[in-house]
């Protein structure tokens, strides 16, 4: 691992990073981050360097008021506005697909010229009902609140949608971090799915095989998940560091291996449930399960979400203040420079992938010990791959990943409700998620569509990044 | 309201964009304001007034609604029930991961479904949770028992009976003296087919004093050839190529969509016996389909939901056990091969069927439902 040669063919990896787009601050200048809502003197000083800003020249020597900054940023190409507008744009595209996908509404469009009012009214009714149902399934259902007010349902029903959102968000935050962290080191981890599967196997095996007191068994299960997932990631890191094999190829292949291994594993004696006729493992012991936040069978949200936020905080600290985080970012920025500065590039790469694997492994474990009753081949769905979207939407920053994970969790929970209530296919949610990321990854597109102004704060940051 | 959607289409203009945001916001306010009146007692959730309707909902497993297998045929059962009784209002919810089963069943209850069809034994745990929490809702599950609950109606199949007939037919049809089978995964809902098939071949050997071999499954050892995948046609093709290379001229893939790989590449090397739903009708490879071991989820589901809708206030008792006797499992018509199969063989298969129905022949498999 002392050799850094294999990394020479590597610098292209970071070129695909969304951080390189001019409007976004590069990740490696975190420490110079300027809060756009404050008008510090520094910002003014660099303002003129940013050029092309005739409209927003700062008043002579004075500070700009908060209100003015807010007004200028509201419709400018800063991250927040672009993300919000990307989400809106994706929802609009989703609405068009929804209409195309619904036979009744689509047929009505044949009569657009004869019955324009009815056609557009029907369309609006259908689309708004579907999105309202999505909201009802993800955040709060006013009908339920109303029924609860009149004592016609339990308070648990009121919190059910938000509980579902948190339940879906937790594994996505973990797998999102598992993509975001290596991204900062210039590595593209497509292996979240495989690492999550291995984590689920590790955590699930502890959960179903042992019957210890919960205070021992639960932490043991979570650690086992992180460990096995971490080893699966480390395997990629070590192969890359030692042999120069590309991590994208490695992780894709290991995803398949992990998936087929899970299929084989749950059928083995001692793991398979002997009383069930299907391919399913023995149930996870009660003592190994993550407890619900609120002890109620309906509200599935469990401690995984708290763990996810805590881990995100840890990762944020590590990247910003930790020695390893600094090395990681240095390698991501320029491996050669990092090597010259005395950083062991190979070791950093291997450990970064191990950390990523552990994070994804935690995601898998949180499902195995949280919401899944036992290990099955379809227990994880696509959390590993959705993690890539979450990481990109979160701008590969830990807190961004938490936000994006919550949004995607809400879309998932709302999508489940939407398809049951409105009959809109749940696949649409996947399309909306992908579109959001697509628009976020192409800020120039969003900017052109909405004719956004150039953000003074973002421009100042771009100036800082160059200087 | 009508203009709003037009606005969305011309969203390229920022001013319109702002208007839409405002409209969406005001729609949200209107929506909140509407939630102040006392609701009616009857329908929870977003239910439209469906007084006379009997809402029957289905939650698919991760195979999805168009899996050419039990999800598709169970959905066909709900559709058939609607055709017979227009008051039945079917809808379905697709699951993308095993962890979706809980919310999808719970949402179906919230929606106000009176009958909820779960598909597949893997949904057993989630169905049990939902059915325990909602004792007044009729649940039903395909390929699992009643989970110890009175409001769960089980729909199961003695598939080995029909597979036995297919095995006998295959042994009689084979010219090479070798027939082959492979499964999608070594799990009871698959091996039950292979057990019956192997027994049928053995029965033919005993009756005729022949030695037709079964490749790909050993019933005594409960071991054989598996693709470990229900979707990959490539893997299905590999397995049938292997079997054909060993001399098999009748191949029985029990691997869902993976089996299509065999059907597509059968050519003149071998013929295929399909599973679940009549392959002559549901696939485009009818010309190589000798017959199909049909698992009639459609009829099972149709019967269950029709009975449930007839007495909406009571829970169904018992369960549906598909056998040759009630046509819950069967051998599909021979279609193109009708003229190519020896009439004597056809008659023998028919006799065997009657013997199994009468109980004269017992077909057993370790995987059969109890």
Q: From first to last of its 467 residues, what are the pLDDT tens digits of chain A?
A: 344 434 333 333 343 444 444 444 444 444 444 444 444 444 444 444 444 444 444 444 456 677 877 777 777 778 888 889 999 999 999 999 999 988 888 888 888 888 888 889 999 999 999 999 999 999 998 888 888 888 888 888 899 999 999 999 999 999 999 999 999 999 999 999 999 999 999 999 999 999 889 899 999 999 999 999 999 999 999 999 999 999 999 999 999 999 999 999 998 988 988 877 778 899 999 999 999 999 888 899 999 999 999 999 999 999 999 999 999 999 999 999 999 999 999 999 999 999 999 999 999 999 999 999 899 988 998 999 999 999 999 999 999 999 999 999 999 999 999 998 888 888 888 899 899 989 988 888 888 888 888 777 666 655 544 43
CA B151-B131-A141 angle, 5° bins: 130
Task: Please say if the pLDDT value at position B28 is more than 70.
Answer: no
Bridge-based pairing state of the strands B223-224 and B250-254 = unpaired
CA B145 to chain centre: 16
Task: Please say if the pLDDT value at position B143 is more than 90.
Answer: no
Task: Please say if the pLDDT value at position B300 is more than 80.
Answer: yes
The residue of chain B nearest to residue A140, with distances taken between CA atoms, is B32
Q: Answer whether B103 sits within 8 Å of A413, measured CB to CB.
A: yes
Output the CATH code of domain A167-409.
1.10.3470
Q: Answer whether B98 sits within 8 Å of A379, measured CB to CB.
A: yes
Distance CA B67, CA A112 (A): 36
Q: What is the mean pLDDT of residues B178-204?
A: 92
Bridge-based pairing state of the strands B223-224 and B217-218 = antiparallel
Q: Answer whether B111 sits within 8 Å of A421, measured CB to CB.
A: yes
Q: Which of B63, B110, B156, B234 to mutate to test the interface with A (most CBs of A within 10 A)?
A: B110
The token pair that represents A206 in the structure block: 């502890």
CB-side neighbour CA atoms (13 Å) of A457: 25
Q: How confident is the model at residue B33 (pLDDT cuts 50, 70, 90)?
A: very low
Q: Answer whether B21 sits within 8 Å of A88, measured CB to CB.
A: yes
Q: Answer whether B93 sits within 8 Å of A416, measured CB to CB.
A: yes
Distance CA A199, CA A201 (A): 5
Distances from the Cα of B127 to the Cαs of A280, B77, B149, B329, in angstroms?
Answer: 15, 19, 10, 25
Could you give the domains of chain B?
Answer: 54-157+299-322 (3.40.50.2300), 159-295+339-358 (3.40.50.2300)
Residues of B in contact with A157 (CB under 8 A): 110
Distance CA A279, CA B74 (A): 21
CA B81 to chain centre: 16
pTM: 0.75
Task: Please say if the pLDDT value at position B350 is more than 50.
Answer: yes
Q: Is-contact A133 A329, C-beta < 8 A?
A: no
Stretch 141-160 of chain B: residues touching chain A, C-beta under 8 Å: 143
CA-based nearest residue to A406, from A315, A312, A297: A312
Q: Answer whether A132 sits within 8 Å of B125, measured CB to CB.
A: no
Q: Is-contact B137 B131, C-beta < 8 A?
A: yes
Q: Answer whether A152 sits within 8 Å of B12, measured CB to CB.
A: no
Kindly list the strands in the beta sheet with B138-142, ordered across the sheet, starting from the edge strand earlier in the chain.
B88-93, B54-59, B115-119, B138-142, B152-157, B320-322
User: What integer pLDDT is reported at residue B40 of this predicted model?
Assistant: 60
**3-class DSSP state for residue A139?**
coil
Which one of B9, B12, B189 has the shortest CB-CB distance to A277?
A: B189
Distance CA B223, CA B108 (A): 40
The token pair that represents B70 in the structure block: 């039990």
Q: Which of A96, A101, A378 to mutate to test the interface with B (most CBs of B within 10 A)?
A: A378
Q: What is the mean pLDDT of residues B93-109?
A: 90
The residue of chain B nearest to residue A420, with distances taken between CA atoms, is B93
Alpha-carbon torsion (B239, B240, B241, B243), positive or negative: positive
Q: How confident is the model at residue B262 (pLDDT cuts 50, 70, 90)?
A: very high
Q: Is A150 on the interface with B (CB under 8 A)?
A: yes
User: What integer pLDDT is reported at residue A19 of this predicted model?
Assistant: 43
User: What integer pLDDT is reported at residue A94 of this predicted model?
Assistant: 92
Residue boundaries of the structural domains of chain A: 21-58+65-77+452-466, 167-409
Q: Which helix (H) or strand (E) holds A89?
A: helix A79-101
Task: Please say if the pLDDT value at position B35 is more than 50.
Answer: no
Q: Cα Rg for chain A, rounded, in angstroms?
A: 24
Q: Which residues contact A323 (CB under 8 A, 6 or more apart)?
A: none
Q: How confident is the model at residue B26 (pLDDT cuts 50, 70, 90)?
A: low
3-state SS track over chain B: CHHHHHHHHCCCCHHHHHHHHHHHHHHHHHHHHHHHCCCCCCCCCCCCCCCCCEEEEEECCCCCCCCCCHHHHHHHHHHHHHHHCCCEEEEEECCCCHHHHHHHHHHHHHHCCCEEEEECHHHHHHHHHHHHHCCCCEEEEECCCCCCCCCEEEEEECHHHHHHHHHHHHHHHCCCCEEEEEECCCCHHHHHHHHHHHHHHHHHHHHHCCCCEEECEECCCCEECECCCCCCHHHHHHHHHHHHHCCCCEEEEECHHHHHHHHHCCCCCCEEEEEECCHHHHCCCHHHEEEEEEECHHHHHHHHHHHHHHCCCCCCCCCEEECCCCCCEEECCCHHHCCCCCHHHHHHHHHHHHHHHHCCCCCCCCCCCC
Distance CA A83, CA A401 (A): 13
Stretch 93-112 of chain B: residues touching chain A, C-beta under 8 Å: 93-94, 96-100, 102-104, 106-108, 110-111
Distance CA B194, CA B197 (A): 5
CB-side neighbour CA atoms (13 Å) of B341: 25
CA-based nearest residue to A436, from A399, A396, A392: A392
CA B32 to chain centre: 42
Q: Which helix (H) or strand (E) holds A309?
A: helix A304-321
User: What integer pLDDT is reported at residue A449 of this predicted model?
Assistant: 86
Bridge-based pairing state of the strands B213-215 and B217-218 = unpaired
ipTM of the complex: 0.70
């Amino acid at each position: 691992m002392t050799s850094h040669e294999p990394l020479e063919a590597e610098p292209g990896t970071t070129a695909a990073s969304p951080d390189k787009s001019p409007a976004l601050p590069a990740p490696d200048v975190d420490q110079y981050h300027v809060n756009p809502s404050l008008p510090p003197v520094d910002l003014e000083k660099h303002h003129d360097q940013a050029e092309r800003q005739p409209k927003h020249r700062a008043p002579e020597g004075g500070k700009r008021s908060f209100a003015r900054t807010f007004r200028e940023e509201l419709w400018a190409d800063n991250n927040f506005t672009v993300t919000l507008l990307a989400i809106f744009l994706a929802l609009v595209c989703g609405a068009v697909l929804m209409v195309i996908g619904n036979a009744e509404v689509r047929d009505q469009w044949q009569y657009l010229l004869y019955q324009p009012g009815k056609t557009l009214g029907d369309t609006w009714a259908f689309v708004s009902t579907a999105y309202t149902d999505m909201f009802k399934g993800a955040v709060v259902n006013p009908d339920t609140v109303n029924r609860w007010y009149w004592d016609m349902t339990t308070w648990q029903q009121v919190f059910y949608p938000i509980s579902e959102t948190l339940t879906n968000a937790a594994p996505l935050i973990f797998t999102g971090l598992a993509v975001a962290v290596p991204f900062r080191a210039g590595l593209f981890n497509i292996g979240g799915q495989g690492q999550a599967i291995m984590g689920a196997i590790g955590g699930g095996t502890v959960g179903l095989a042992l019957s210890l007191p919960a205070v021992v068994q639960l932490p043991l299960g979570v650690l086992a998940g992180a460990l096995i997932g971490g080893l699966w990631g480390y395997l990629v890191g070590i192969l890359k560091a030692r042999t120069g094999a590309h991590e994208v190829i490695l992780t894709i292949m290991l995803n398949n291996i992990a998936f087929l291994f899970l299929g084989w594993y749950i059928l083995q004696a001692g793991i398979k449930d002997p009383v069930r006729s299907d391919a399913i493992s023995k149930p996870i012991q009660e003592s190994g399960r993550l407890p619900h936040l609120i002890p109620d069978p309906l509200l599935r949200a469990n401690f995984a979400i708290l763990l996810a936020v805590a881990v995100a905080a840890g990762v944020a600290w590590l990247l910003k203040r930790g020695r390893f985080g600094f090395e990681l970012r240095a390698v991501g920025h320029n491996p050669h420079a990092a090597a010259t500065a005395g950083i062991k590039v190979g070791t950093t790469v291997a450990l970064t992938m191990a950390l990523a694997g552990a994070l994804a492994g935690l995601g898998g474990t949180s499902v195995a010990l949280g919401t899944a009753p036992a290990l099955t081949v379809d227990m994880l769905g696509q959390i590993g791959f959705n993690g890539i979207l979450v990481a990109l939407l979160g701008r590969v920053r830990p807190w961004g990943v938490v936000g994006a994970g919550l949004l995607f969790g809400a879309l998932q929970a709302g999508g489940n409700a939407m398809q049951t209530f409105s009959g809109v296919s749940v696949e649409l949610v996947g399309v909306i998620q992908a579109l959001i990321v697509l628009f976020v990854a192409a800020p120039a597109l969003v900017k052109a569509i909405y004719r956004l102004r150039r953000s003074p704060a973002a421009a100042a940051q771009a100036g800082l990044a160059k200087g | 309201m009508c203009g709003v959607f037009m606005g969305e289409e011309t969203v390229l203009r920022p001013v319109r964009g702002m208007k839409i945001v405002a409209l969406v916001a005001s729609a949200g306010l209107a929506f909140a304001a509407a939630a102040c009146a006392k609701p009616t007692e009857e329908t929870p959730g977003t239910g439209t007034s469906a007084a006379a309707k009997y809402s029957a909902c289905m939650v698919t497993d991760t195979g999805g609604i168009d899996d050419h297998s039990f999800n598709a045929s169970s959905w066909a059962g709900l559709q058939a029930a609607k055709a017979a009784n227009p008051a039945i209002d079917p809808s379905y919810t697709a699951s993308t991961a095993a962890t979706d089963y809980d919310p999808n069943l719970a949402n179906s209850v919230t929606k106000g479904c009176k009958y909820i069809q779960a598909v597949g034994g893997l949904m057993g745990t989630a169905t049990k949770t939902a059915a325990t929490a909602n004792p007044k809702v009729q649940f039903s599950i395909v390929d699992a028992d009643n989970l110890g609950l009175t409001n769960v109606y089980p729909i199961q199949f003695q598939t080995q009976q029909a597979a036995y007939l297919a095995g006998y037919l295959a042994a009689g049809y084979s010219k090479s003296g070798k027939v082959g089978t492979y499964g999608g995964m070594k799990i009871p809902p698959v091996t039950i087919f292979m057990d019956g098939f192997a027994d049928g071949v053995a029965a033919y050997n005993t009756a005729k004093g022949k030695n037709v071999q079964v490749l790909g499954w050993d019933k005594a050892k409960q071991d054989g050839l598996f693709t470990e995948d229900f979707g990959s046609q490539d893997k299905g093709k590999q397995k049938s190529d292997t079997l054909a290379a060993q001399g098999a001229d009748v191949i029985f893939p029990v691997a869902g969509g993976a089996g299509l790989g065999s059907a597509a590449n059968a050519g003149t090397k071998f013929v295929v016996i399909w599973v679940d739903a009549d392959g002559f009708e549901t696939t485009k490879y009818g010309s190589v389909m000798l017959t199909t071991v049909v698992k009639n989820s459609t009829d099972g589901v149709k019967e269950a939901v029709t009975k449930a809708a007839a007495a909406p206030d009571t829970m169904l008792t018992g369960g549906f056990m598909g056998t040759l006797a009630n046509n819950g499992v069967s051998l599909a018509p021979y279609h193109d091969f009708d003229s190519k199969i020896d009439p004597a063989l056809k008659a023998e298969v028919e006799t065997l069927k009657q013997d199994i129905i009468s109980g004269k022949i017992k077909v057993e498999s370790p995987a059969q439902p109890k």
